[in-house]
Amino acid sequence: MIDALAAETLLLRKRLAPVVIGAAWVAMVLIFAFGVPYIVYRTLDPAKDSGDRADLLDVLVPSSVDSTSVSSYPLFGGALMLILGVLITGSEYRWATWGARFTQGPSRTQVLLAKAAAGALAAVAIAVVAAVAAVVASLVIATAEGAPRGLPSVPSMAASLGVAVLISVACMSLGAALGVICRGTSVALAAGLLWMLGLENAVSGLASMVNVLEPVRTVLLSSAGGSLVAGLGAPTQGAGGTPGVVEHMSTPTACLVLTVYIAVSLTAAVVITRRRDIG
């Protein structure tokens, strides 16, 4: 298993996909979580919109970076991590390299779990870089506006990073399972992104009006991630916050749902790979 993990981490380091996805996500955090709101803040009239300006600045300063930096994970960050998971497993079908992988040492189960572990390490690295970039952005804004530059407490920052990692790994695991189920990348990407960005939001919205759908909302990946971020104090979508941040379940329940997604996704990927004729 150690050899398999070493091989998979080496493979990811040699591929551009994690770098491109990580760079894209860091850019999205800087642009949409800090850049665009700051531009809006600067364009508001201080005389007429002092309240709105104050609310925006409160979100952008370092004291709120723990919640602001993860507010985009439930929807947009999760979608990018799903793409990473699909590329980790689905690319092996496109390159027709599974046969060689399964006949040169580790078992199929060990190879799949090593791929998942390498993907999780990549997701952790991306989350750490994004968190550091968010802190730097908030400090720059605070300095430019003469606002306090005090950061949240260490436990708060650790909780924020933990939320980012849990959401990222859950979405990456689902993407990896879809890559195996669909035997490639194209269909897996289409199905995963359609579900996360379209159908889950539609079901969640309908559940607010149709009570019978309420239980369904508690098992959605985006609802669990959004509820977890809301538990950090991020403004919800209904209160004018980032799309995807909701309060549909408690923090422990959200953690449980995301953990179940990881376990079920990896189990499905392993079982299907063990039973399927790769050739």
Specify the higher pLDDT residue, 177 or 6.
Answer: 177
Q: Is 279:99 a contact under the CB 8 Å cutoff?
A: yes
pLDDT-derived band at 260 (thresholds 50, 70, 90) equals: very high
Share of the chain above pLDDT 70, in %: 99
pLDDT-derived band at 254 (thresholds 50, 70, 90) equals: very high
- What was the pLDDT predicted at 73? 92
Highest-scoring range by mean pLDDT, 26-30, 72-76, 93-97, 193-197: 26-30
Question: Within 13 Å, how many C-alpha atoms sit on residue 23's CB side?
Answer: 5
Distance CA 137, CA 31 (A): 10
Share of the chain above pLDDT 90, in %: 51
Specify the higher pLDDT residue, 278 or 231.
Answer: 231
Instruction: Name the DSSP class of 248.
Output: S
Q: Minimum mean pLDDT among 63-72, 207-216, 241-250, 266-275: which range?
A: 207-216
- φ, ψ for residue 126 (rounded to 5)? -65, -40
- Is the pLDDT at 86 greater than 90? The verdict is yes
pTM of the model: 0.91
- Is the pLDDT at 2 greater than 60? The verdict is yes
Distance CA 65, CA 136 (A): 10
- Is the pLDDT at 247 greater than 90? The verdict is no
Kindly state the average pLDDT of the residues 29-50: 86
Instruction: Name the DSSP class of 185.
Output: S
The letter for the amino acid at 51 is G
Q: What tens digit of pLDDT does each residue of 160-185 get?
A: 999 999 999 999 999 999 999 998 89
Kindly state the average pLDDT of the residues 93-118: 83
- What was the pLDDT predicted at 279? 55
Distance CA 64, CA 30 (A): 15
Distance CA 225, CA 40 (A): 27
